[in-house]
Chains A and B, each alone.
Chain A
């Protein structure tokens, strides 16, 4: 369809509602990145703004749909993925974005999350991970580190946390990316990639809760240390990081290893090249699981693999069956099969 599309500005996507997140909350930066990404997505994919639907569950992040000037649906706790799935199957032409926190998506909504990923339905899931329950005021979440002291774990949690990337790839996820709330440019870049990806895209955004879990990621987000503690992966590029761009990742046996280029006999040629399109999830899983201090935390699009999507399969199957069936309307159906005259 050759339709005219509008050149949007970020301002077009701002709703008239007052943004009510706490001052300093990471969500502001993420909203900013989304508002900047949407005009770019619109331009690249020729989407009009009424084509976007934002769906959320419950939690601070889930207020998001109110702040974007598109269609929005603020659902119930944990069920955003299910609602978003229904929206997309009902109307596959819509660009569907789900906004969830770590508690919403991975605790109460864990079931729906993995099944959305497994089905590979074409929705974009923004997973705001602050490792805490914010809206209910400071209880541990399924991503809080073992031993985390929170209101419901005064002596430290005794639970092992989920690693969202591992969960996504384990559920046969085809797109996983990670960003930082403070890095608006990177987040925006990733969101555009996620929108272009046909299938479930999960974007984990490490997000600071200024009230209940302040500084949860400061060890990797501090300007001073960031470049040495994170690695930004880009398809086709070497896995290099560090202030001086002198560190890199190599494969050592069956594991990844951090090396210094020029030391220990490692040269630039040994450094791995990122292949986000590789269907084999092996290296992607290792990259997604890298944790500081043993490794830099991986940012960017870690996995981006093409596969058939649930919504396309549904549509194609319906069209195929419709084409081949003798039953074209309800009257046909009612009179089909074994009938008799009295």
Chain B
């Protein structure tokens, strides 16, 4: 055994695990990310998988990937290109080779590179290295399947279960490469398969055999070390995905308001995890109703809101389309409601497992009539917690539905999160009408927020009727009076606009004036930040203005725009936010950078684009 290999120190590394959609790549990647986070690295992950549960085996369309970016400093994206690629079959290699940095390490399961494997993946030859131009990479052909079989031949497991463990062999190899401690992963096996000790033992054995195999072969010249992140603030951390953070932020808002949380929802990718997470939290009094459809999801939530719960509904693009009519009802009845839309590729069913930002127009205007609604967008996996909390606060204190936009990228992606303390979050004080209030008028409003009172059924003397028909300005009874309608339309718009007084001013990263202002919103934050940061380090006059509050926009928005010579709006759609800004601030000129491929931006392409703009191209 050669223990004299050199150890190379790196600041950050990107590892991508890829294989068939049944190969367990999401789990493999998650375990590696968790082990890195526990070690003390900052981590950002990006799952990229097909929408079929088991896509045709061995084909490029069926490749499932999970990318992990970890570093000894703050990591904002899962990384553009990877240093290490694990490809469990020829299709995975074909789909991902272009994402490996020149000189990077590619570990493949050579057992799968047989005639059948090549053909299924659509190769022209039986020589992947030449066909994919991989001469400049460190290719490690490891017989992962056969070694896994050998490793477990005495385990008593059936052949299928044995072969299924090969992802842990690959993981063991990667653990060797980065000298990762395997204790955490072993604990995971013990918990996950508590009732099947033979599986626990098998997984542990395969993991160690993979580690030892990597140590023994001469192919791996270097080990790599990425030190603990020292720039991260001290404290207690956990890993969190955007969907979990969203669910927990909603629970936190309910706790601060002193009301039970009710979620009426229908499963849809990629939003389902929020419902799953909330369903677990009956210990905090959370009620989840898995409705018969999207419409029932939001309508049960509206009913629950009327009855005095903090009500939410969760969905993704096509589901939001179905909820449109009920959204109008929530606007008309002026009840608190949070609608979470985890955006995915569209239109229609589109790309269910891929990310996009193309629901913005729908969120802002996808309703009949003048039906304004507060729209907020989260921008990182962990800040989904804060914006879900704020969505709840605004909904309850201003008596309005609030749309919270996230997207597949931040919803499924995860990062270490310094665990906050609830004492640092603001109180939430909904305008609940006291029992016994005399001459209660359902649509009388407070002067500042223009919020009407929330009168809960079951309380004396405040009986009233709500509904979708236009309301009398004060009494809330049905009114078809033309002037009354105008007044109501105006005040509903004004009520949403007043939220501006209760949200923070927009911040700018970088100088407050200069050549180029990069504008973005939502889940593109990490990539835009890294791109702008890189350019600023190179001395370029670039700043970033990234929005979380969309409707209303922060008060100082126009002022920020006025200080830059050029503005470029970057989004994963054809320019929805750019057009929204043109509508609100027509006095400025907006360039656009748009990408609609079901993928996040890469930092490289952004930097290229910004340089072109600065050079006047």
Contact = CB atoms under 8 A, between A and B. Distances in A.
Interface of A: 15, 17, 48-51, 53, 55, 65-66, 69-77, 79, 82-91, 93-94, 111-112, 115, 314, 317-318, 321-322, 324-325, 327-331, 333-335, 337-342
11 contacts: A50-B460, A76-B329, A76-B468, A85-B296, A86-B300, A91-B307, A112-B292, A115-B291, A314-B289, A338-B239, A340-B237
A92 B353 CA distance: 38
Given A330-B251, A333-B281, 8 more contacts: A53-B457, A71-B457, A86-B303, A90-B311, A91-B457, A111-B292, A112-B296, A329-B255
A89 B265 CA distance: 14
A329 B235 contact: no
Interface of B (DSSP majority class): mixed
Given A86-B299, A111-B292, A318-B285, A94 B237 contact: no
Contacts of A88: 303, 307
A254 B419 CA distance: 67
A66 B465 contact: yes
Contacts of A17: 477
Contacts of B308: 90-91
Contacts of A333: 248, 251, 281, 284
Contact of A53 (B228, B307, B333, B419): B307
B420 interface: yes
A342 B304 contact: no
Contacts of B300: 82-83, 85-86, 89
A82 B295 contact: yes
A151 B433 CA distance: 47
For B37, B238, B459, B467, which residue has the most chain A Cβ atoms within 10 angstroms? B467
A245 B282 CA distance: 56
A318 B465 contact: no
B131 interface: no
A51 to B, nearest CB: 6
B252 to A, nearest CB: 5
B617 interface: no
Contact of B303 (A85, A111, A322, A335): A85
B293 A93 contact: no
B309 interface: yes
B465 A72 contact: yes
Contacts of B304: 86-87, 89-90
Contacts of B464: 71-72
Contact of B422 (A71, A76, A85, A329): A329
Contacts of A53: 307, 457
Contacts of A89: 262, 287, 289, 300, 304
Nearest to B286: A318
B296 A111 contact: yes
For B289, B295, B296, B462, which residue has the most chain A Cβ atoms within 10 angstroms? B296
B238 A339 contact: yes
Contacts of B287: 89-90, 314, 318
B236 interface: yes
Contacts of A77: 325
Nearest to B307: A90
B20 interface: no
B238 A334 contact: yes
Contacts of B281: 327, 333
A75 B325 CA distance: 10
A317 B248 contact: no
Interface string B289-332: 10111011001111111111101000000000000011011000
Interface in B410-425: 418-422
For A82, A90, A94, which residue has the most chain B Cβ atoms within 10 angstroms? A90
B307 A322 contact: no
Contacts of B238: 334-335, 337-340
Interface string B257-299: 0001010100000000000000001111111010111011001
6 A-B pairs with least C-beta separation: A86-B303, A74-B467, A325-B283, A86-B300, A82-B299, A72-B465
A70 B326 contact: no
Contacts of A341: 234-237
A86 B40 contact: no
B38 interface: yes
B237 A342 contact: yes
Contacts of B461: 50
Given A86-B303, A329-B255, A341-B235, A74 B457 contact: no
A90 B299 CA distance: 12
B299 A79 contact: yes
A74 B311 contact: no
Interface string B324-348: 0110110001000000000000000
Contact of B457 (A15, A87, A111, A337): A87
A73 B303 contact: yes
B466 A73 contact: yes
B34 interface: yes
A119 B252 CA distance: 29
Nearest to A324: B283
